[in-house]
Structure 1
Amino acid sequence: MKIVPYLLIAAGIVLFVFPVAREYINEREQQQLVRELERSIAPADSKPSIDSENARLTELLQSGLEGATEEESERPTIEEPLQTLDDKTIAIIEIDKIDLKLPVLEGATTKNMKVGAAHMTETAQLGEIGNAAVAAHRAHTKGRLFNRLDEIEIGDMIDIRMRDGKVMYRVTEIKIVEPTDLSVLNGNQSDAMLTLITCDPLVNPTHRLIVHAIKSEE
């Protein structure tokens, strides 16, 4: 019976270390994707409907980062074509105000949002006329993913680096909306817009934090 206390201690150590190790692995993968994108980018072609993608995004954001770390089936689907992660990496998003640098991957899937931000494929392409939507989780670790997005203010700059150059956006609007509010994805025929989406509040999220920005020539 003397071995029982030692087994309990060992189990406690494992339970403490496992989440930390998993987060470390995810962050290393995120950094690797950024480095790979800086060398080469190949966007994906998957095009799920905006309604189905929004529904999937809602499920992912409400489940939180913990849910996003759970592995999906490895079978390819329409929403997640069979290709390597670097094939899905289309850009790097940088926001100096909150010390953010993340890979942007194509498609709001569990795998993509585990390691970076995700471009909603049925929205405009980054840097082009229309509204390009990019979503990410708010990790509980300060500074990870979109954790500090609530610190953004109107006028702050967002940089998107792609294979063919860098696009700068200036923040024009910040708001909290219901998850079903698709109006945040609306664009127009004259502006190149960027919409950042994450869950709100950080704990037990019920809404979405939305940051709208417009392409700037500065």
Structure 2
Amino acid sequence: MKKRSKTSLATNIRIWIFRLIFLAGFLVLVFPIVSQVTYYQASHANINAFKKAVTKIDQSEINRRLELAYAYNASIAGARKTGEHSVLKDPYSAEQKQAGVVEYARMLEVKEQIGHVIIPRINQDIPIYAGSAEENLQRGVGHLEGTSLPVGGESTHAVLTAHRGLPTAKLFTNLDKVTVGDRFYIEHIGGKIAYQVDQIKVISPDQLEDLYVIQGEDHITLLTCTPYMINSHRLLVRGKRIPYVKKAVQKEAETFRQKQYLIYAIWVIVGLILLLFLIWFKKTKQKKWRENEKAISQISHNNSK
């Protein structure tokens, strides 16, 4: 009787260990899916809140804010002429990541955002925040302080930066899939502007010349770390201003939505398949353990006679 009791206890312990392993494995598998869906919903809600709040701002106030932004950009362009570039710093340096909330872009901020960037090629629509502090990079795209504000205009070059490889959000994880000729869009308090990728480069963190203003031109550069998970260099995807064509944007937006739905449908299906497989595997294992327990009990019973 004691042998049978000990055998049952050992079997129960094995079953509970397997259950814990099963639960841990399932959570590891579904965490990226759940966290990314959660981030997408949260960022989408933030962007909608930004758009809604902008509609409530009087046009004269919007014009006033934009004039301040243009004046700021003019000062950046003026510094370029005199060769003053010391203000630019690698957004992933320890100093920049520890920086707090910055004040320079307050004129553009609505609901803490200065706009959002849409990158159809990689199915991303992400809020933009002022500064590249880690706090901002954990929740969206940061604007690199010392570069032009992302409102467009002659002699401007805004730099927008985001992480790759976060478990909770894609952000710029797939930025390396963007190619020359692709378009991306910025929406700020003054409306929407379009850019077409004209240059892609990989630089060292202290090689900042490619982020400077080019007189008479209008650029925005998307910046992230590379190679993936090594982060020793910086990937620069530069776009040049092009006319904003509403029909073309609507077509890309529809394709963007379809891709988003398809991606999440695939994730849900994969998650369900994994769940069903794990349930089947768990039941099969438990059945095998019960059969082994029964066989051991039978042997113990026969030996006791």
What TM-score, normalized by structure 2, do the two folds share?
0.54
Q: 1:25 to 1:192 in 2, by over 3 A?
A: same
SS of equivalent residue, structure 2 residue 114:
strand
Q: Which residue of 1 aligns with 2:20?
A: 9
Check conservation: 2:100, 2:133, Cα contact below 8 A: no
Q: Deviation of residue 90 (structure 1)? A: 1.2
> How far apart, in 2, do the equivalents of 1:58 and 1:4 lie?
49
Matched, 1:149 2:164: no
Answer yes or no: is 1:95 the counterpart of 2:130: no
Cα distance change on mapping 1:51 and 1:26 into 2, 3 Å = farther
Relative to structure 1, is the Cα distance of residues 86 and 4 closer, same or farther in structure 2, using a 3 angstrom cutoff? farther
Aligned residue-pair number: 201
1:173-184 to 2 correspondences below 5 Å? 173-184=199-210
Matched, 1:31 2:57: no
Shift of 1:117: 0.9
Q: Runs (4+) of structure 1 moved beyond 3 Å?
A: 1-8, 10-28, 50-53, 58-61, 76-81, 140-143
- CA deviation after TM superposition for structure 1 residue 190, in Å: 0.6
Q: Deviations over 1:144-180 (max 9, x none)?
A: 1011111111111111112211111111100111011
Contact 2:182 2:196 in 1 (8 A): yes
Residues 1:110 and 2:145 aligned together = no
CA displacement 1:102-137 (0-9 Å, x = unmatched)? 111111122211121111132111113311000011
More helix by share: 2
Contact 2:117 2:126 in 1 (8 A): yes
Structure 1 residue 32: deviation in Å? 2.1
Aligned to 1:65: none
Rg larger in structure: 2
Amino acid at match of 2:20: I
* 3-state SS of paired residue (1:190): coil
Is the 8 Å Cα contact of residues 100 and 143 (structure 1) preserved in structure 2?
no
Q: Any idea what SS the aligned residue of 2:231 has?
A: coil
* CA spacing shift, 1:90–1:139, aligned 2, 3 Å: same
Q: 1: CA distance between counterparts of 2:30 and 2:110?
A: 26
User: Which of the pair is proportionally richer in strand?
Assistant: 1
Distance 1:156 1:39 in 2: 28
Residue 64 (structure 1) aligns with? none
| 5+ long unaligned stretches in structure 1 | 62-67
1:117 to 1:60, Cα distance in 2 relative to 1, 3 A: farther
1:198 and 2:224 equivalent?
yes
TM-superposed deviation, 1:53: 6.5
Deviation sequence 1:59-113 (CA, Å, 0-9, x none): 499xxxxxx9xxx8xxx946489x9x95331112112222221111111122211
Contact kept? 1:103, 1:116, Cα under 8 Å: yes
Matched residues in 2 for 1:176 and 1:202: separation? 12
- 1:132 aligned partner: 158
Change (3 A) 1:202 1:59: farther
